[in-house]
Structure 1
Amino acid sequence: MTTLGAAETADRIRAGELTAGQAVEDCLAAIDDRNPELNGFSVVLAERARKEAAERDAAAAPLGPLHGVPIAIKEENDVAGCVTTFGGRSNTTPAEADSAVVRRLRAAGAVIVGKTSMPEFGAWPYTEPLSLGPARNPWHTAHTPGGSSGGTAVAVASGMVPAAIGGDGGGSIRIPASFCGLFGLKPQRGRVTTAPNPHLWWALGTLGPLTRTVLDSALVYDAINGGEPGDLFQAGEAGSFVEAARREPGRLRIGWTVKGTAPGVRPHPLHVEAVEDTARLLTDLGHDVRPLDVRLPDPTAAFVPQFFAGLRTEADAVEHYERLEPSIRQAYRLGSWVRPGVVDWALRQTEKVSEKANRAFDGYDVLLTPVTANRPPRVGVLKGVNVLTAALKSQPAITYTALWNVTGNPAAAVPCGLGTDGLPLSVQLVGRLDDEPTLLSLSAQIEAARPWPLVAER
């Protein structure tokens, strides 16, 4: 495995202590060793990565801040020459060009080593695609790594790559980050382009990295941030994420709660304990930490139509509809009521939910909550289930995360070490609109005060 993060790998390559070729070979060896058991990679681009690394090493000067750093890409993103499978078998033609995010990573000097597994269309918070079989949590292989960026989390948490790109339409960066002990920031809506697609599930989806450290996340974000012509959403100014990760956050007003937005879903006691322990830590660090005195709204009315509309749009675009998984075809039929007018209505509901949720920031700078209500389930949670059962099984995973996809606010999963069950613990920090810098500064302060394990060993 490789224990070097993205920032340290880039630093060593710049210093001449490591070559891009060596970094890639280390990753490919780790993939050969770990992936057969963990099933996080869907495609390994070994020879292409070696060729790309050789080009980096032959360059007269570093291409950018990620020069020579091996990175993996979630299956929903186009990588030239690879089929964009969305986690299924319904596409067969390779993409002709890189997506904007992949293009920006290459421009920053990164080397693309492969693509990572996801549930088909990212529909569920557990990575168990029928096309590849389930991905497995590197901390305990009987358990799921979460989803939908489950393969991405596996690749990073097991030390197969220093960083990897995921996506988040309802918690899909934060959930697998929390299940696998990683730092995962869902950025402000519109912060990272989704081109060539104008949006990712309308207002819900964002793209971003999963990493082992806060600085690694900031480094990747600085390379991929920014919009493109045709993007449906654009974020406001936020400045350098690396600079934010390296500065003190100052004294913040932090409101904490363990109340979710889904009726009847209760948090696991370990997650309540993690929030309370973090609240005490933040108090010791000098912050003004108090229980949240605002009830957060239920995002269901805005979330569900966009979920169905996004899934149906992606299903309409595949080459072989008949090859879609049964639960996805069921969801497609179940969502037939979501016509353009319903999407417009859902987007108006999004604005109303956002207004209500952001009232919390009248009295607080940051909110602290669990990431999920449930501990990482055992592998097989979706085996043989229909779409309605899958949706019910997903509720404990998204009750704290989906709201912030609807509102667009940045939110991060921050590791808290390991629970008594040997699996990672995590808390969620939520920031004001366009305020990723505060989340990065605060997360880095927590990381320094309470370091977390970086790699899941056997």
Structure 2
Amino acid sequence: MDDSELGFAGVARQAELVRAGKVTARQLTEAALARAERLDPRLGAFRTLRFARALAEADACDAGRAEPGSEGLPLLGVPVAVKDELDLAGEVTTFGGAANTTPVDRDCEAVRRLRAAGAIVIGKTTMPEFGQWPFTESAAHGYTRNPWDTSRTTGGSSGGSAAVVAAGVVGAALGGDGGGSIRIPAACCGVFGLKPQRGRVPTAPHPHLWYALGTLGPLTRTVRDSALLYDVLSGPAAGDRWTARPAPTGFLRAASTEPGRLRIGWSAKPAVRGVRPHPEHVGALRETVRALRELGHDVREIDPHYPDTTAAFLPQFYAGVRAEARTVDHPELLERRTRQVVRASALVPEAAVAWAMRHGERLAVRANRVFDGPDLLLTPVLADRPRRIGALDGLGMTGAMLRSLPMIAYTGLWNVTGNPAASVPAGFGRDGLPLAVQLVGREHDEATVLQVAAQLEAVRPWADRIPELARAPH
């Protein structure tokens, strides 16, 4: 297996090869770093690469393979990347901007769990400042480009993570989702991205990520790899503000189990008024309905009767950005748009944020009535096709918010409610860019989402499609 094949093998397969002694952690890490060095000048997806440290960690992994217990590590020797809002010891957590300059001294809990499972973090991926926008563009780090067409956006805010997985640099990269920030870039880049139930993955050392809105999770090429990562990442930690209900079985086991005949409701109706979905997204939705029916499910069009979540979402968004902006070393270096958001957040006292969270809980009850009949909800992920690079150029806070609406029209609701929701690849549009659909599950039910996503992956495999950029010779 050559370096290119290794890059697209996925984390589960890579770990199997290391455990079997067919490849070393150093070989995997060298290959990932070489691909990053070759591809990132065109992608702009890494904020930083850890050449010396990652190779040293790979060597330590290889040296320790004979130690008792190491053979059972699920991510043994596997290179991964993490979004630049996650603390990685010895590196600066920039939140996508230039205002932080001090390296942190310890890993956040999610990164710690990755490393404890044997993974090697090769670098930190790009994001818009504080993850505010569904386009991975920032004044400090420039544009992040889609591997399928470098004139187009990766989406955001976990756009760097999506790009490096789609391009086969790593098999998995951590992201965060406060309004669609895992699902949107997964849809733009043609990879699998599951936003977990709120509280499934700890945000420590922070008690929350944008209050009730934010979650952490991986972007991967396959459903199996996502399930494996969630087995590693899931579970409570000290200081968590929210904790998900324990899963009845492991996620990898769930993803490998047939779900039986399910009731699935589908709708092309956006949860944001005034937004119309692109016809190709509706077409991908209808094709997925057909595939699910052929798999034996009872699939029917429904009206979800979405509640308006604006009054719950916006106060938490403003307060979340404000809280993160207060932690930076040089607030004068924040982007103009971010400074506008921080100024606007002065109109949102903590009492208003507490009300917004309570209001979100009431809205969650209403939104979850959609599952009184169906076991899952199927929708588009995006209303728009991926925009050209420069989507945020010249825009202030209000303009950026308006431009973001078609990108979050199907995703943001489920951050308010906390439900698990996944972006599942669904072919390609006439523009050559990926299409995707969203599977939304009942509260705490990632397992059913994974099961049905795995069924769709089996009947229309997507992981064998590779961007031309990633096929280019060395």
Q: TM-score range by the shorter chain?
A: over 0.9
| Superposition pairs of residues 272-287 of structure 1, within 5 angstroms | 272-287=282-297
In 1, the alpha carbon distance for the partners of 2:188 and 2:178 equals: 17
In 2, the alpha carbon distance for the partners of 1:215 and 1:63 equals: 17
Deviation at 1:453, TM superposition (A): 4.1
Counterpart in the other structure of 1:97: 106
Structure 1 counterpart of 2:382, from 372, 382, 385? 372
| Superposition pairs of residues 184-263 of structure 1, within 5 angstroms | 184-238=193-247, 239-263=249-273
Superposition misfits of 4+ residues, deviation over 6 angstroms: none
Counterpart in the other structure of 1:35: 40
Deviation at 1:418, TM superposition (A): 1.2
Q: Secondary structure at the match of 2:9?
A: coil
Counterpart in the other structure of 1:58: 63
Report if aligned partners of 2:222, 2:463 keep a CA contact under 8 Å in 1.
Answer: no
Q: Does 1:111 align with 2:116?
A: no
Q: Map Cα deviations across residues 211-252 of structure 1 (whole Å, 9 max, x no partner).
A: 000001111111111111111100001131100111111111
In 2, the alpha carbon distance for the partners of 1:169 and 1:88 equals: 18
Q: Does 1:355 align with 2:365?
A: yes
In 2, the alpha carbon distance for the partners of 1:436 and 1:220 equals: 13
Q: Secondary structure at the match of 1:198?
A: coil
Counterpart in the other structure of 1:432: 442
Counterpart in the other structure of 1:345: 355
In 1, the alpha carbon distance for the partners of 2:427 and 2:285 equals: 12
Deviates more, 1:433-442 or 1:446-455: 446-455
In 2, the alpha carbon distance for the partners of 1:331 and 1:340 equals: 16
Q: Map Cα deviations across residues 357-386 of structure 1 (whole Å, 9 max, x no partner).
A: 000100010000000100000000101110
Aligned AA (1:163): A
In 2, the alpha carbon distance for the partners of 1:139 and 1:353 equals: 37
Report if aligned partners of 2:207, 2:239 keep a CA contact under 8 Å in 1.
Answer: yes
Aligned length: 458
Deviation at 1:457, TM superposition (A): 2.5
Counterpart in the other structure of 2:472: none
Gaps of 5+ in 1: none
In 2, the alpha carbon distance for the partners of 1:54 and 1:335 equals: 47
Deviation at 1:3, TM superposition (A): 1.4
Gaps of 5+ in 2: 470-474
In 1, the alpha carbon distance for the partners of 2:73 and 2:318 equals: 39
Q: Map Cα deviations across residues 232-273 of structure 1 (whole Å, 9 max, x no partner).
A: 100001131100111111111000000011111000000000
In 1, the alpha carbon distance for the partners of 2:467 and 2:407 equals: 22
In 2, the alpha carbon distance for the partners of 1:294 and 1:423 equals: 28
Percent of residue pairs bearing the same amino acid type: 57
| Superposition pairs of residues 295-374 of structure 1, within 5 angstroms | 295-374=305-384
In 1, the alpha carbon distance for the partners of 2:204 and 2:72 equals: 22
Report if aligned partners of 2:8, 2:171 keep a CA contact under 8 Å in 1.
Answer: yes
Q: TM-score, normalised by structure 1?
A: 0.99
Report if aligned partners of 2:152, 2:389 keep a CA contact under 8 Å in 1.
Answer: yes
Q: Map Cα deviations across residues 376-404 of structure 1 (whole Å, 9 max, x no partner).
A: 00000101110000000000000100000
Q: Secondary structure at the match of 1:55?
A: helix
Counterpart in the other structure of 2:302: 292
Q: Secondary structure at the match of 1:31?
A: helix
Aligned AA (2:341): A
In 1, the alpha carbon distance for the partners of 2:340 and 2:367 equals: 32
Counterpart in the other structure of 2:168: 159
Report if aligned partners of 1:369, 1:400 keep a CA contact under 8 Å in 2.
Answer: yes
Aligned AA (2:12): A
Structure 1 counterpart of 2:153, from 137, 144, 151? 144
Report if aligned partners of 2:284, 2:427 keep a CA contact under 8 Å in 1.
Answer: no
Deviation at 1:344, TM superposition (A): 0.9
Counterpart in the other structure of 1:446: 456
Q: Map Cα deviations across residues 269-316 of structure 1 (whole Å, 9 max, x no partner).
A: 000001110001101100000011331112111000000000000111
Deviation at 1:62, TM superposition (A): 2.8
Q: TM-score, normalised by structure 2?
A: 0.96
Q: CA RMSD in A?
A: 0.8
Report if aligned partners of 2:269, 2:303 keep a CA contact under 8 Å in 1.
Answer: no
Report if aligned partners of 1:69, 1:109 keep a CA contact under 8 Å in 2.
Answer: yes
Counterpart in the other structure of 2:29: 24
In 1, the alpha carbon distance for the partners of 2:271 and 2:394 equals: 27
Report if aligned partners of 1:63, 1:109 keep a CA contact under 8 Å in 2.
Answer: no
Q: Does 1:75 align with 2:91?
A: no
In 2, the alpha carbon distance for the partners of 1:393 and 1:446 equals: 31
In 2, the alpha carbon distance for the partners of 1:48 and 1:216 equals: 25
Aligned AA (2:147): P
Q: Map Cα deviations across residues 393-436 of structure 1 (whole Å, 9 max, x no partner).
A: 00000010000000000000000121111000000000000000
Q: Secondary structure at the match of 2:152?
A: coil
Report if aligned partners of 1:249, 1:445 keep a CA contact under 8 Å in 2.
Answer: no
Counterpart in the other structure of 2:408: 398
In 1, the alpha carbon distance for the partners of 2:458 and 2:191 equals: 15
Deviation at 1:63, TM superposition (A): 5.9
Counterpart in the other structure of 1:456: 467
In 2, the alpha carbon distance for the partners of 1:415 and 1:47 equals: 35
In 2, the alpha carbon distance for the partners of 1:46 and 1:173 equals: 26
In 2, the alpha carbon distance for the partners of 1:294 and 1:320 equals: 45
